[in-house]
Structure 1
């Protein structure tokens, strides 16, 4: 796995987190913003597990599913709160299969509480895999 691919994965993840943060700062009374935030969340979670999968492979650990990837990333010490990440994955799965206003509102509120965990994890990964390379 090249440093360039790792850098690109983390770069894409950083951009997705920035866009999710931007969405979270909008008016939560507007259903269009809620829908957009949920979509950005889905995209960010997708990028997260694929990036983690790529990074685990560097460490010699092969995973197949998002859940398996999160469990191994937690075991490696990259994720602080395994239960929060597994709940994020459940929320992502819920939003892509069913839609109703009440569920959307609940998941939107969850996203706000997940965001600090997502940021902390990103910083941890960036320090571990990029060090000063990306600065």
Structure 2
């Protein structure tokens, strides 16, 4: 029996992020919209790399090798396999932004993080599209 890769949680999270970004674009002075974007970015970031890892584990001859990969190598592998728009250099930026959000709230840091969120949305949408195109790998 093949294991199905359920993309619905990531799809829904990315849709919510898109909605938040649209609201923020319409009223960029509203800190509630900005903060909503950042929080949704955090969730989408986590789901994106977890979904990438699940897919790579399903597609791998030896899933344990994927499970043991450091984060940077996981992203490089996903990029090499054409699953991601960007490689490790850009994902370092996403990771840094995610790290910034997990510490004490700071207005200047929020402004820094919001700058990367629209690009990350495109990254997540591209990942979903590629995973749908490929379907669940055979087990």
Distance 2:28 2:67 in 1: 36
- Distance in 2 between the 1:66 and 1:14 partners? 22
| Structure 1 residue 71: Cα displacement | 2.0
TM-score norm. by structure 2 comes to 0.80
- The 5 Å alignment of 1:1-135 reads 2-4=2-4, 6=5, 8=6, 10-26=7-23, 27-60=27-60, 61=63, 62-64=66-68, 65-82=70-87, 83-129=89-135
Aligned equivalents of 1:2 and 1:50: distance in 2? 19
Unaligned regions of 5+ residues in structure 1, if any? Answer: 131-135
After superposition, what is the alpha-carbon deviation per residue over 1:91-122, rounded to whole angstroms, capped at 9, x for unaligned?
11111124310110121121123322322222
TM-score by length of structure 1 reads 0.82
Q: Separation in 2 of the partners of 1:12 and 1:76?
A: 23
RMSD, aligned α-carbons: 1.9
Which is higher, the Rg of structure 1 or of structure 2?
A: 2
Question: How far off is 1:16 after superposition?
Answer: 0.6
The runs of 5 or more residues in structure 2 that have no matched partner are none
Q: Report the number of matched residues.
A: 127
